A and B are shown apart, each in its own frame.
Chain A
Amino acid sequence: MRAEDRERAIAEVACRLVADKVAAVAGDGLESLEALLLDAVYEERLRLEQAGRDARAAEDRRFIEGVRQRLVHAGPEELKALLHEVVEHYAREIAGNFDPRVYQLATRVVPGLLALLLNALSPQRLLERFPELPSLSTNVNVRGEVEVLRRLAERGTVILCPTHLSNLDSPVIGWTLYHVGLPPFLYGAGLNLFSNPLISFFMHNLGAYKVDRKKKARLYKDTLKEYCTVSLEYGYHNLFFPGGTRSRSGGVEPHLKLGLLGCGLRAFVNNLRRHAERPDIYVVPATISYGLVLEAETLIDDYLKETGRARYIIEDDESSRLSRVASFFRGIVNLDSRIYVTFSQPLDLFGNRVEADGRSYDRRGRPIDTRRYVMRGGEPVHDPQRDAEYTRELGEQVRAAFVRDNVLQATHLAAFTLFEMLWRRFSERDLYHLLRTPPELTLLAVHEVRAALDRVLARVRELVAQSRLRLDPRIHDATAEAVLAEAVRVLGTYHPRAVLRRVGDRVGAGDLNLLFYYHNRAAGYGLERAVVPEARAVPAFDLSRRPSGEPLLPPSEPPPQIRPPVPAGLEELVA
């Protein structure tokens, strides 16, 4: 956010929230200001018990102790003042430290830096292609409704909602936006990304604001939402991963978190009420498809944890290790692996299709006046229950777009086919048992795998023809043999242990967990029925749950934080 807007936004957020809360107390009397503040004090103290001894934590302790002491004797006016202070404190923290000079440079410099980083990591390529600068555009392919997105970004405010698989998603999206000529989007990044030295560099510069998922106080969450709302009203495009956290299973996210989408509707109504010039807010789902995933090992391990809950916040994965990031980029460049960013059909806040003219259309192609959805008695009004329902329906459309625009690559299809074959061959085993199968027992005759893959490909092409799925264009007409060879080449070399390996005339898994991980991207399309012709029904994988049956939702308690070591050599790279 620009400096002048930032201060205005913080003040606005504080005023609105205090007014809202005061009105709510006067209205139904269900919550008191005191209870809200006590909740904030309680949650903050709980969090700070676990927090370290750094300056930030000390500052937070001082602040919350001050609030607590004043709360004891506070009268009605003092309560309002305290509420204002707490919200402003949170809002200031969320908005982050801002350096306008960095912001000015960010758009131009960052993509260059990303390319430079790639070059530095791939000297071989640099030499080969010299003097032509290698660019991410070879490996990152942008597809879908780019032109519509560009037009909509001029007509109104855009909320971009990509699938979330890797910590590289935000840099990739940042680069993509630059590449297609769009300004940077505001982005509510988890604090863990700021403490990841590699990623944080990009975060600070891509208009990111800070989301501390360890802060559980209701007031904090309300402040965050109001900040989003205000930023949308000011016309800042927002980037939001509705999956909430990186997909652990590797599959398309089964549950979406609707928080920021809901902010969109609030902002829209506010825009209408103050007769804003460009009140419309558009939602653009996007998918990011990786042939290889940087943090695959950590993510699938986390998904498969039998005991204990998943770590909602992972701070020590591959993305914080420079050598791994370097080898990842080297891998995708040398293996010519692809990252597809696909912009889906844009939607309005009610889940209707939006065209480049900025208007919404029903399924019969008739224009819709979206303002009417929020009107009552001729006036635009907020109605939390109604709006939550609109947002839920929008979420369904976003999720449908994810499924439709998911781009399957050779790695996914080969892993899917082999894993499903093994799942049937060892059908007496449960998933964990299967995953512990020694690799030498997983070898299957290559002609059988090819035949199965051939059927899967045929089914995939049918789905592609019906626009229910996308396929890497490079394998659009490829034979099963070519797809399998490509998958063995890519999956056999990047990961420390080969995911797929060819031994003579047999193909097998080297790492079953990772095979399962890459398999999961192709799950949910009924492709398993194509693997074995006329196979008996085997239950499909429910990726919304852990194999233990535990639902895959963020844990309610913050896990202990482990700080990663700062990788050496970063300063030289980005200087």
Chain B
Amino acid sequence: MSAAVQDEPTPVAVLGGGAWGTTIAHLLAGRGRRVLLWLRDPEIAEEIRRQRTNRRYTGETRLARGIEPHTELAEVASAAELLFLAVPLAGVREVAYRLGEVLTGEQIVISCAKGLERGTHRRASEIVKEETCIKKVGVLSGPNLAREILAGQPCATVVASRFQEVTARATAAIMGPGFRVYASSDVIGVELAGALKNIIALAAGISTGLGFGANSLAALITRGLVEMTRYVTACGGDARTLTGLAGVGDLIATCSSELSRNHQVGRRLARGESLDAILATLGHVAEGVGTTQAIVEHARELGCEMPIAQGVYAVLFEGAAPLDVLRELMARPPRREIGIGAALG
């Protein structure tokens, strides 16, 4: 019953005009939806309205017709039943708090933010539930590099929610010929996988920056997946999710693409640049940096072993040299390969 969803009766809202938010708005508008895009910067709003481009975040791509940019959050949020939240994790709580003033229990929020809040260890969907009355939340995550999507290349993603109505409506709204959506009920797994892969992407960038090739990268990805799985199950997620698009899929895309911001940060770290210098010139948010801090701290509390993440943490925040960290990782005592198969039971 609940899965039988008609076309959205109201416009769809996208909150956040960065690369990912703009791309989601573009996808939705490309499916013929009326899209209300909330962003803070009135100049970018004006640019999207007049020229259908967002040069700062999505380059010269002509965005689909039907995107209406707004700078008033409350107006956008109260006009839609289905909302995609695509602000960086650091902004989620503030935006969610403001949403809490206007949202009602009927509405659906799909979080597209990847990361973990420092100190509270909360995922974006948890923050939304804390700050608003919304119960019907979902998350969207997968191997979705914005630039490739904007170029019209085919890709797939996962929408997870405990509510079938949420996955069904989000899928109906956004799935199209070039964008395939799979449903999941494992919110924890899908959401954490999206955050965790950024840490491994930083490590992959470091590896590439050090001049290492495919063997190193494959070992990093595989062992990275093991510790991702360990962390996800410790948090109550489903290990099987990690074998899917949000896990392995996103990990492969992020670690093998040089487009990924986290990958870029890693490469520059390997060249000896300081984190502050890199972040100052990046122009975008690299979620992996904050996520590494939050997840490594949380993993310590949980007693969950994450050597690669620990190594990335040491490079980022403790001034460790990437090569020393690598040497330490390679010198860990030999052990049996307990792949993710073991966690799957």
A residues lining the B interface (CB < 8 Å):
350, 352, 360, 362-364, 366, 368-370, 372-373, 375-377, 383-386, 389-390, 392-393
- Additional A-B contacts beyond A372-B106, A385-B163, A393-B135 (9; CB < 8 A): A364-B100, A366-B101, A368-B105, A373-B105, A377-B9, A384-B2, A385-B1, A386-B2, A386-B165
Interface of A (DSSP majority class): mixed
Q: Is the CB of B132 within 8 A of A370?
A: no
Q: Is B97's CB within 8 Å of the partner chain A?
A: yes
Residue positions of B touching A, CB distance < 8 A: 1-2, 9, 97, 100-101, 104-106, 130-133, 135-136, 162-165
A389 touches B101 (CB 8 A): no
Chain A residues, Cβ within 8 Å of B130: 363
Most chain B beta-carbon neighbours within 10 Å: one of A360, A383, A392? A383
Instruction: Please give, as numbers and ranges, the residues of chain B lying within 8 Å of A360 by CB-CB distance.
Output: 133
Pair A385/B131 contact, Cβ less than 8 Å: no
Instruction: Name the B residues within 8 Å of A370 (CB-CB).
Output: 105
CB distance from B292 to the nearest CB of A (A): 26
Q: Is the CB of B100 within 8 A of A369?
A: no
Q: Residues of A contacting B162 with CB < 8 Å?
A: 389, 392
Report whether B1 and A372 are in contact in the complex, using a CB–CB cutoff of 8 Å: no
- What are the residues of chain B within 8 A of A376 when measuring CB–CB? 106
- Smallest beta-carbon distance B135→chain A, Å: 6
- Kindly state the separation between the CA atoms of A533 and B69 in the bound complex, as whole angstroms: 59
CB < 8 Å: which of B104, B131, B136 contacts A364? B131
A369 touches B132 (CB 8 A): no
When C-beta atoms are compared, the residue in chain A nearest to B136 turns out to be A386
Give the residues in chain B near A372, CB-CB below 8 Å. Answer: 104-106
Q: Please, which residue of chain B has its CB at the minimum distance from the CB of A392?
A: B162
In the bound complex, CA of A125 to CA of B105 (Å) = 56
Of A362, A384, A390, which is in contact with the most chain B CB atoms at under 10 Å from its CB? A362
Structural contact, B9 and A366, CB atoms closer than 8 A: no
How many cross-chain pairs have Cβ atoms below 8 Å apart between A and B?
53
Collect the chain A residues with CB atoms within 8 Å of residue B100's CB: 362, 364, 366
Closest to B303 in A: A537
Residues of chain B within 8 A (CB-CB) of A363 are 130-131
Query: Which of A350, A375, A384 is in CB contact (< 8 Å) with B135?
Result: A350
Rounded to whole Å, the gap between the CB of A135 and the closest CB of chain B is 43
CB-defined contacts of B132 to chain A, threshold 8 Å: 362
In the complex, A368→B135 CA distance in Å? 12
Q: Which of B2, B9, B104, B105 is close to A385, meaning CB atoms less than 8 Å apart?
A: B2
> Smallest Cβ distance from B8 to chain A, in angstroms?
11
A-B interface, 5 closest residue pairs, ranked by CB to CB distance from nearest:
A373-B105, A372-B105, A372-B104, A372-B106, A368-B133
* Cβ contact within 8 Å between A364 and B97: yes
Q: Give the residues in chain B near A362, CB-CB below 8 Å.
A: 100, 131-133
A375→B106 CA distance, assembly (Å): 6
Cβ–Cβ contact A383 & B165, under 8 A: yes
Are A373 and B131 interface neighbours, CB within 8 A?
Answer: no
B10 → chain A closest CB, angstroms: 10
Neighbouring A residues of B101 by C-beta, 8 Å: 366
- Taking the closest CB of chain A, its distance from the CB of B183, in whole angstroms, is 12
| Interchain CA distance A461-B343 in the complex, whole Å | 39
Residues of A close to B136: CB separation below 8 A: 386
A-B contact list, 12 entries, CB within 8 Å: A350-B105, A362-B133, A366-B100, A369-B105, A372-B104, A375-B105, A375-B106, A383-B1, A385-B2, A386-B136, A386-B164, A389-B135
- Chain A residues with CB under 8 Å of B97's CB are 364
Residue from the list B1, B106, B133, B165 in contact with A352, Cβ < 8 A = B133
- Bound-complex Cα distance A45 to B131 (A): 53
A377 to B132, CA, bound (A): 21
Q: For the complex, what is the distance from the CA of A390 to the CA of B161, rounded to whole Å?
A: 13
Q: Which residues of A contact B1 (CB under 8 A)?
A: 383-385
Contacting residues, chain B, for A377 (C-beta < 8 A): 9
Q: Looking across the interface, which residue of chain A has its beta carbon closest to that of B3?
A: A385
A392 to B187, CA, bound (A): 15
Task: Evaluate contact between B106 and A386: CB separation under 8 angstroms.
Answer: no
Taking the nearest CB of chain B, how far is it from the CB of A503, in angstroms? 39
A368, A370, A384 — which one has the most chain B CB atoms within 10 A of its CB? A368
Using Cβ atoms and an 8 Å threshold, which residues of chain A touch B131? 362-364
* List of B residues within 8 angstroms of A383 by Cβ: 1-2, 165
B163 touches A369 (CB 8 A): no
| A377 CA to B136 CA, complexed, in Å | 16
State A363–B131 Cα separation when bound (angstroms): 7
Smallest CB separation, B214 vs chain A (Å): 41
A368-B105, A383-B1, A389-B162 in contact; A373/B9 too (CB < 8 A)? Answer: no
Residue of B nearest to A537 (CB): B303
**Interface contact B165-A369, CB-CB below 8 Å:** no
**Closest CB-CB distance, A573 to chain B, in whole Å?**
50
Q: Which B residues are in CB contact (< 8 Å) with A386? A: 2, 136, 163-165
Residue with the greatest number of chain A CB neighbours at <10 A, chosen from B97, B101, B165: B165
